Structure 1
Amino acid sequence: MAWNEPGGDDKDPWSDKGKDQGPPDLDEVVKNLQKKMGGLFGGKGGGRTPGGKGAAGSGKLVIALVIIVILVLLGIKGFYIVQPAERAVVQRLGAFHSVTTPGPHFLIPLIDTKTIINVDQVNKFGHRAQMLTKDENIVDVTLTVQFRIQDAANFLFQDADPVKTIYSAVESALREVTGKSTLDEIITQNRSAVAAMVKQNTQELLNTYKTGLVVTNVNIQDANPPEEVKEAFDDATRAMADKERVQNQADAYANDIVPRARGAAARQVEDAKAYAFKVVSEAQGETKRFLALLGEYQKAPEVTRERLYLDTMQQVLADTGKVLLDVKEGSNTLTYLPLDKLVQPGSTRTPVPAAQLPGYESLEAESASRKLKDARDRRQEVQRDRERARRNR
């Protein structure tokens, strides 16, 4: 018969567990829990059955397994590896603890936290601004900045927004350097030096604010004057390029001509030294020869003089042209020869008899008439002398 049917005495199946159907007493619940836990760990709790030992052993095994599983999960969660290009910033209970280097590491789960930072990645951004130069001109500068994280801890904790800070630092450094430079230096002459100064000043500002960032490169991509004077500055730029080109050509010419001139000078110096050595050697030889002849001359002056005369005539006549005349003995014929036409300087001719020379007959007749005239003149002179002598008596 069901409990809710007539005659069932209105008793539900759970009525034997207690008549009080209200909420359980808290103290009773705690006591019951303590009893169960005591029986689970083998304590002296009440209500143990003959099979209590088996229940206690199985409970210990379950707890051990649970502890092992928890430890394994904690170990898996706490183990991490830092890559070569990274650094891990560890916080313990929210406060900075350490920075770990590349390799395997372990942290305490739920207590320690980590933040992985890539310190080798190079970041890049561009910046463009109009600045006032030292000579009170306006220049439009476009540059690119490359940077990376150097100190991971400072990057996370020392500055609220390091990237925004580096933007402001670059603008401040560019304004300072531009204000100390002229327009020509920024546009044409000294652009690389301006970029280096911007990099240095930016890094000093980043170090002051402890941003943990390092600037790796600053490159000025473009620097132009205002549009009103851009054409004039373009002309100046072309003139500077022409100047450099001409200078390079002059340097190339100098590099070519100077070594050759030095070589020619060295060759002339060597020739002069050789000539001087030759002249000195010849002079010394002549001196020795003269001293040797002096001894011979002192022994036999006439013979030595005759020999010197013959040697000298041999040397002189060896290089000169000669005309040989076949003159008969006792002949008083005066021979006239056009030597300037017969003998040219430096020419060598075969000796020719005088009778075969052109004009020889006319020359001989002229010579005979001249001799006859001379004889008449001498005869008349003798007669005049005789007359003077008679008068003087």
Structure 2
Amino acid sequence: MKEGKKGILRAIPMFLCVGAACCALQSFYRVSEQEQAVVTRFGKVNDIKTAGMYFKIPFIDQVQKVDTTTYGMPIGYTITNERNGENPDYETTSDSLTITSDFNLVNTDFYLEYKVSDPVKYLYNSNEPVRFISNMAAAAIRSTVSDFTVDDVMTTEKSKIQAEVRDQLTKSLEEADIGIQIVNLSIQDVEPPTSDVVAAFKSVETAKQEADTTINKAKQYKSEQIPAADATADSIVQKAEAEKEARIAEASGQVARFNAMYDQYKLNPLITKKRIFYEAMEDVLPELKVIISDGSTQTMLPLESFAYVSVEAADGGDENGK
């Protein structure tokens, strides 16, 4: 028993030395030239350290080191086989496919260089800052390329597109505030898409041209029909106006005739009534034989023979000159 107690007593100093050594190891940390250290105490950011050797409270202070060197990221392609840096193989990704302002498709490859500007924001303002910047870069590329034609994208406007993408991505990162800044953004390659995509695009373009043709035909038909409809409408209106004027003139004539007749009626009511009656009967019964009598004549003579003789006399008589 005494020997056991003595063994335990001898081991205590050894444990204390080991504990002290562990505390010493946990109390000091080193930050390299290309790093920054974020020191948190009880979960709250306490300090940011640059290159050097530093002390911390063991098991209370936590240190997270962030590499501040410049990183590179391909946008629109991946490197499948680097071959020790010589002649690497490239594979295009879906992020490279963009549409231009004239509705053509191109594969655009960019290379993005970035670094951490604020380690605290880098650690706490985004769960996946690298994925976040990749998505924002792809969005900026699509937005910018859509403002240029396919000829401009593949030839003379590469530098301008590159500058606009960089400016737009820089602005987006400033608004997102995730502690990353752009070092450089360069356009690597621009090429037409694969044959399958080209075939699909040609189908879309053909459909678009057919739609344009149909729209143009409809516009032509419209331009032809509207003048014809306008001419027909003008003709109907003019005809209606002419009929209106004719009816007004006819009504005015009838009014004038009625007024004149009324004036005569006021002078000789009875005679005018008889004349109106005879004229009305002549219109209603044109074949009616009219015999005028004073009421005391006993013998009626047909008027047709007198009218016939009067007509022959007016023509110059018969063959004997009578």
Q: TM-score, normalised by structure 2?
A: 0.47
Which has the greater radius of gyration? 1
Higher RCO, Cα 8 Å, sep 6+: 2
Q: TM-score, normalised by structure 1?
A: 0.39
